[in-house]
Amino acid sequence: GGDHTVTYPILQALAAKHGPVGLVHVDAHTDTGDTALGERIYHGSPFRRCVEEGLLDCGRVVQIGIRGSSYDPDPNKYCREQGFRVVPAEECWMKSLEPLMREVRAQMGDKPMYISFDIDGLDPAYAPGTGTPEIAGLTPAQALEIIRGCRGLNIVGCDLVEVAPMYDASGNTALLGANLLFETLCVLPGVKTL
């Protein structure tokens, strides 16, 4: 739960300890906006603020599932200019993400990295309980491939954000979010699973 702004202070603390960290960011949106309603800190800007403060190792940032409406004709330009790898949702449609995650593991190497998972990275058919749903997103199975694909990386932190149960009377979004967060905790270094 919580909006994606929460990742910003977490990454400030982690970068103070580890230096700039890599990032696997699953989301419908890049969250690299500059301002909204005159505010520089909001749920659509955390990763721009992180870049500005040198909190991210930009060559080790991967954003997966990006799609949806934009106010800009080239909404991913800023990310590419920073050196982020942007994986649009359409590159994920109807296929396993295990090959992508092999590439991501190689890109992350053994340096500290963080996993930030916005529930709207998934298609609203599975996770309608979020504030900014976008059609044609990832499936729960693909979400598991991403998370499980991070096993063995030097994960120093993680989050799962933007779950808004009041927008989903079925409770499925909260259930999915809880399960994905559990899966993420299971891939943290030193966690033993069966």
Long-range interactions of 108-112: CB distance < 8 A, separation 24+:
108/22, 108/24, 108/60, 108/153, 108/154, 109/22, 109/60, 110/153, 110/154, 111/21, 111/22, 111/57, 111/60, 111/154, 112/14, 112/18, 112/19, 112/21, 112/22, 112/154, 112/156
194 has a pLDDT exceeding 90: no
Place of tokens 């590159």: 91
33: Cβ–Cβ under 8 A, 6 or more apart, which residues? 42, 44, 45, 48
Q: Which CATH class is domain 4-187?
A: alpha beta
pLDDT 10s digits, 113-160: 999 999 999 999 999 999 999 999 999 999 999 999 999 999 999 999
Please check whether residue 14 is in contact with residue 156, taking contact to mean a CB–CB distance below 8 angstroms.
yes
pLDDT 10s digits, 41-98: 999 999 999 999 999 999 999 999 999 888 788 999 999 999 999 999 999 999 999 9
SS3 41: coil
Is the backbone of residue 138 left (phi > 0), alpha (psi -120 to 50) or beta?
A: beta
Q: How confident is the model at residue 2 (pLDDT cuts 50, 70, 90)?
A: confident
Place of tokens 């994986």: 87
